[in-house]
Structures are given as structure tokens and as C-alpha cells.
Amino acid sequence: MAEKPHMNIVFIGHVDHGKSTLVGRTLLDTGTIEQHLIDKYRKEAESMGKASFEFAWVMDGLKEERERGVTIDVAHKRFDTDKYYFTVIDAPGHRDFVKNMITGTSQADAAVLVVSGEAGVMAQTREHVFLARTLGVTQVIVAINKMDATQPPYDEGVYNKVKAEVTKLMKSVGYRDDMMQFLPVSAIKGDNAAKPPTANMPWYKGLTLIAAMDTLKEPLKATTLPLRWPIQDVYTITGVGTVPVGRVETGIIKPEMKIIFMPANKVGEVKSVEMHHQEMAQAGPGDNVGCNIRGVAKNDIRRGDVAGPVSNPPMVAKTFEAQIMVLNHPSVLTVGYTPVFHLHTAQVACTFIELKKKLDPKTGATLEENPQFLKTGDAAIVKIQPTKPLVIETAKDFPQLGRFAIRDMGQTVAAGVCISVEKKEM
């Protein structure tokens, strides 16, 4: 049987709005997990005084998460619908854990934004919507959850009010009508996740959550783009030669291709392509491969280099402009600040050389030209200079090589996307 097309979907939203419960419900109702597991979790949850947490525990495997009742790390789980196989990324909604949410969201093709019908739009709902937009998620299903808990229960008026609030918020950051769809759910009771709503919501005639997921558009297969192959490690194998290993992000790699590694500026020829110790005729986006390369020595290239076709080499930046969101900085960020940028397999210290403008995180509108500093919660357009040669592409041309996280003092202080690159002459 041919493999169904694959999509990464991230569940985002404010803490306690029921994201993990909705993920658990979706996995149960698609037959990915079995009822007896939920029953077991229900008993454990009740014994810890956490009734109604049984679904959330499917994803919240960490003991600490269970005791605190919040999601900390990003969990991955596969489930199938009629059309796709999804990797579901359950991203933390809790303020302290936004950095993990970024890692999850930057891998996503689509998002399910969970908003509680009881509570409506909250501060973090706003932050997550802006981040999803900044990190390039263009398809969002808004699940208005906890419909069983609205006053009165399952009330159409409450649903419409929250829907109007969220629509306004999403349009303010640049989402259009064709990029979002809305539906009411009760994750805990099972209304409208995989099964149509019972008599509880006779007023709702639209799709269930699972049916809505099947209407998502498949992400553009990055096979039509030129090859971009970030290197994870380089091995020398006796009798074989130099074997770089990494995940193909875009394009195709196959034997007899001439490729150039940047910023190393070394050209080699692909002799063979292997995945899981099997020789392959070619490899494409998402494949983790090792290739035997003729004409390149082990010490010529290193982790963080990116291979591409000789006719279209990966871009090495002298400087680049980026749109960033400051997530968690202990003080303020000014010109001259040099934290470590993490993108594809590279980790390179880069200096902020210009703070061009501060943006409204909710709308993206310019608040201030050339601000003196940036602090937690600010969004901005900045100019960056890598301290050593770095491959980065614009998020528009190569989304996979244009998104990054900025880390300092053991935490993610900001995240962003590259909007333009001033090329370094090699």
C-alpha cells in the first residue's frame, strides 16, 4: 500500500484550554490508542486528584507534567485520517514553556488553535497566533473547546461570540479567511472531534475536527526546489571515503551529482546515497541520508555546512535581516548583543548590528523606528551579522533554512525568520 501523504500538525493555545485533552481525544477516536489506556489514566488521575486529565496524559508522559498538570516538552505522535498520516505535535501552552512551543511550531505544516469557549481569547492565545504566523504556519483550524462548560452548555451564541473574537485576532496578524476554519468541540465529552456532535449541538452543521483536517492542503513537496542538505556529521569510512550525514531539507540528491558544500566552498561528486544502510537511487526532503562524496576530505567540511547544486549554491550571509519575536530575555536586547543562532544544523554566534523597527506583536504594524532596545514580548525587524560564515536562506525561498531560534544562557531568548540576505562573496 502506498504511504499516505504526511503532514505535521501542531496543537497550540492558552494553557488550560484543553489542547492535550483534545489531542488525546483525537488519538482515541481515530483508534490510535485504545480505550483501556484512557480508563487506566482516568483511575490514576482521579487518585491524584486530577479528574478529567486522563486524555491529556496520553501526551503528557513526563511525571513532572502529570503532577503539575501542564505540558512541558513537545510530544510527537502519529495518527491516520482517511487522507493523511499526521504527526501531531502537542505544544506547551504554559508561559514558561514557549521555547519548546517554537521548536514544535517551526516544524508544522498546519495548526489546530484550541480556544476555550468558557474563557475566550487570552494573552497567550494572542502570542501563539502571532508566533504561528511568524513561523510560517498558513493553515489553522480553530477548535472552540469546552462547549459542554459554556453557560448555557453547548450554546451557539457563546460559540459565535468567541469565533468573532478569534477571527478579529487572526486577521490582525495577517491571516485571511481562506487560511482558517472554525468548529465547536467538547474534547472531554467527545463532541465533534471524530464523531459528529450528538443532540448537544443541533445548530452546528459543519465538519468534525478529523474531517476538517482532511481538507488541509498538502504542503508543497520541497522536491521542486534546489537541493539543500545540511550536514549533521562527517565520517571517514575505511575503503569508502568521506561520508557526510544529514537530513535532506529540499530538492533531490542522487549519484553522479556535483554538489558544493557552503560555507566550506568545497565541490565534490556524489558516488552513492544510503539510508538505513540501504543504497538508494535518490533521496528527497525528509530523508536522513549518508552519501559517499568523491573529491572532499573529512576535514574539509563540518556540521552546519549545507550542500547544494554547483549551479545554485547555498547562500552564505555577510549580513541578513530577520523578523524576530523576543520570548524570554532577562533584561533588554541592544545593538552589539551576540547570542547563538540555531538554524538547520548550524549553531553560530551572531551580532545584532541594527534594530530597524519594533512591531506590534498582535498586528505586525510598526510601533517604533530604530528602537534603542527590545525586551520580552517585543516583535521586531533586525539586522544581524554572523561572527563566522553561515548558510541562511530567506524563509520565502527555503522555509526550512530560514527559520531559527536564538539561545543564550541556556534558554531560547527569541525566534524568527530570515527576510533578506546580503550575500558574502566567497
How many domains are contained in the chain? Answer: 3
Which pLDDT does position 104 carry in this prediction?
Answer: 44
Which pLDDT does position 45 carry in this prediction?
Answer: 64
Which pLDDT does position 370 carry in this prediction?
Answer: 97
Residue at 179 is within a domain:
yes
Alpha carbon distances (Å) from 345 to 52, 162, 323, 401: 40, 41, 20, 10
pLDDT one-digit tens code per residue, 287-332: 778 999 999 998 999 999 999 999 999 999 999 999 988 877 889 9
Which pLDDT does position 63 carry in this prediction?
Answer: 47
Q: Are 422 and 317 in contact (CB under 8 A)?
A: yes
Between CA 79 and CA 191 the distance in angstroms is: 19
Which pLDDT does position 317 carry in this prediction?
Answer: 97
Residue at 220 is within a domain:
no
379 and 396 assigned to the same domain: yes
233 and 328 assigned to the same domain: no
Residue finishing a domain among 281, 309, 337: 309
294 and 404 assigned to the same domain: no
> Structural domain of residue 393, as residue ranges?
317-423
Cβ density class 156-192: b for 16+ within 10 Å, e for less:
eebbeebbeebeebbebbebeeeebbbbbbbbbbbbb
Task: Respond yes or no on whether the N-terminal peptide bond of residue 361 is cis (omega within 30° of 0).
Answer: no
Strand 233-237, strand 229-230: pairing: unpaired
| CATH for 13 | 3.40.50.300
Residue at 240 is within a domain:
yes
97 and 240 assigned to the same domain: no
86 and 19 assigned to the same domain: yes
160 and 37 assigned to the same domain: yes
391 and 322 assigned to the same domain: yes
Q: Are 379 and 415 in contact (CB under 8 A)?
A: no
Residue finishing a domain among 188, 214, 240: 214
Low-confidence ranges of the chain (pLDDT < 70): 1-2, 15, 38, 41-42, 45-46, 48-77, 89-107, 134-135, 220-221, 276, 361-363
Between CA 397 and CA 245 the distance in angstroms is: 24
Alpha-carbon dihedral sign for residues 234, 236, 237, 243? positive
Alpha-carbon dihedral sign for residues 319, 325, 330, 332? positive
260 and 172 assigned to the same domain: no
| CATH for 305 | 2.40.30.10
Between CA 352 and CA 414 the distance in angstroms is: 12
53 and 104 assigned to the same domain: yes
Which pLDDT does position 92 carry in this prediction?
Answer: 46
DSSP H helix total and E strand total for the chain: 7, 21
End-to-end CA distance of the chain: 47
pTM of the model: 0.64
Which pLDDT does position 192 carry in this prediction?
Answer: 93
Residue finishing a domain among 162, 184, 214: 214
Alpha helices by DSSP H, listed for 202-274, are 209-214
Between CA 104 and CA 132 the distance in angstroms is: 10
233 and 155 assigned to the same domain: no
188 and 230 assigned to the same domain: no
Q: What is the distance, to the nearest Å, from the Cα of residue 87 to the centroid of all Cα atoms in its chain?
A: 11
What SS3 state is found at 252? coil
Residue at 1 is within a domain:
no
Which pLDDT does position 103 carry in this prediction?
Answer: 45
Q: Are 345 and 392 in contact (CB under 8 A)?
A: no
282 and 337 assigned to the same domain: no
Copy the grid coordinates of residue 338: 551576540
